Structure 1
Amino acid sequence: MSKFKKKGSNELPAISTASLPDIVFMLLFFFMVATVMRDSSLKIKNNLPSAADTEKLGQKNLIMFIYAGPPSDSYKDRYGTEARIQLNDKLADINDIGVFVAAERASKREEEIPKLITALKVDKSTNMGLVSDIEQALRKAGQLKINYTTKKGSALK
């Protein structure tokens, strides 16, 4: 009779790395889908007023946002407490709105330009004079589609 012999080495077999690229690409795809890119960081307070009847706007790429309100706590020492306007990532003046609208129109295709909507995100505490000045600057720039962004809730509370 013969004896069963064990192989000379008791080492573990090498780990197969054949599926490693699949795992890496699956993780990459997951993070690309799950990550939200922030368009701009707010330098102003943005406590929106409430409204009972609200609607969601359609295509996000056809909306340009103008923020208005007092500077946030981290920017109060630099900009004071007076309500300011923020266009994208920088604080601006009323005179900069026309240039902002022109730049947004230039970045869109020609057939999308008539569909552009300006969304005003105005803080509750902002006086109506600043909002009126923004509206006048938008009229001068030829941007007549304006939307006021609110949060859902009772307007009376």
Structure 2
Amino acid sequence: MSKFKKKKSGDIPAISTASLPDIVFMLLFFFMVVTVMRDTSIKVKNRLPYADQVEKLEKKDLIMYIYAGEPSDRYQSVAGTEARVQLNDKYASLKDIKQFVFEERQDTREELKQALIAGLKVDKETNMGLVSDIKTELREAEALKITYITKKGAALKNLE
């Protein structure tokens, strides 16, 4: 009569799932921190033209984007088919550009206000008259730093 009996069954013990919720929450937290949300939803067609003399901007947080082009197919029933200006998430008139620039300056730190750049994302089918009107409004708002946002490539691709 022995007190100690040796188990002879070859069963594998069950896998412990005690740490599984910790792993799931760690992954969830990781993806919440790493994911970047889009700032604006673009409501105009935005087929950018090609250019071969381009530079990459380092500080993209100093750019206030102005979109121009005809409304995308999804919004044509509301906004029509004529080329429009979009500031942030809504369509705007040319007169709203000054107010937009002033609001963007209000939201930035004092030492960065002079470094703000107006970035024009203009559809390649948009008339230059609208772009000229946008530039006039920016000039009146004293936003003199303007950049055109394009795709890198041969400029002859724009003729296709």
TM-score tier, shorter chain, comes to 0.7 to 0.9
**How much has 1:75 moved relative to structure 2?**
1.0
**How much has 1:56 moved relative to structure 2?**
1.1
What's the counterpart of residue 133 of structure 2?
133
Q: Which secondary structure does the structure 1 equivalent of 2:91 belong to?
A: strand
Q: State how far apart, in whole Å, the 2-side matches of 1:14 and 1:71 are.
A: 56
Any unmatched runs of 5+ in structure 2?
8-12
Q: State how far apart, in whole Å, the 2-side matches of 1:132 and 1:142 are.
A: 15
What's the counterpart of residue 17 of structure 1?
18
The alignment-based identity, stated in percent, is 61
TM-score of the superposition, structure 1-length normalised? Answer: 0.87
Q: State how far apart, in whole Å, the 2-side matches of 1:122 and 1:59 are.
A: 20
Deviations 1:93-112 (A, max 9, x none): 00000010011000000001
**How much has 1:15 moved relative to structure 2?**
3.8
What's the counterpart of residue 10 of structure 2?
none
The aligned runs of 1:23-102 (5 Å cut-off) are 23-102=23-102
Any unmatched runs of 5+ in structure 1?
7-11
Q: State how far apart, in whole Å, the 2-side matches of 1:4 and 1:33 are.
A: 53
Question: What letter corresponds to residue 79 of structure 1 in structure 2?
Answer: A
User: How many residues matched?
Assistant: 152
Q: State how far apart, in whole Å, the 1-side matches of 2:115 and 2:92 are.
A: 24
TM-score of the superposition, structure 2-length normalised? Answer: 0.86
Q: State how far apart, in whole Å, the 1-side matches of 2:151 and 2:17 are.
A: 54
Deviations 1:18-47 (A, max 9, x none): 5743x2443134303442210111110000
What's the counterpart of residue 9 of structure 1?
none
Q: State how far apart, in whole Å, the 1-side matches of 2:60 and 2:89 are.
A: 17
Structure 1 ranges of 4+ moved more than 6 A:
none
RMSD across aligned positions (CA): 2.2
Question: What letter corresponds to residue 18 of structure 2 in structure 1?
Answer: T
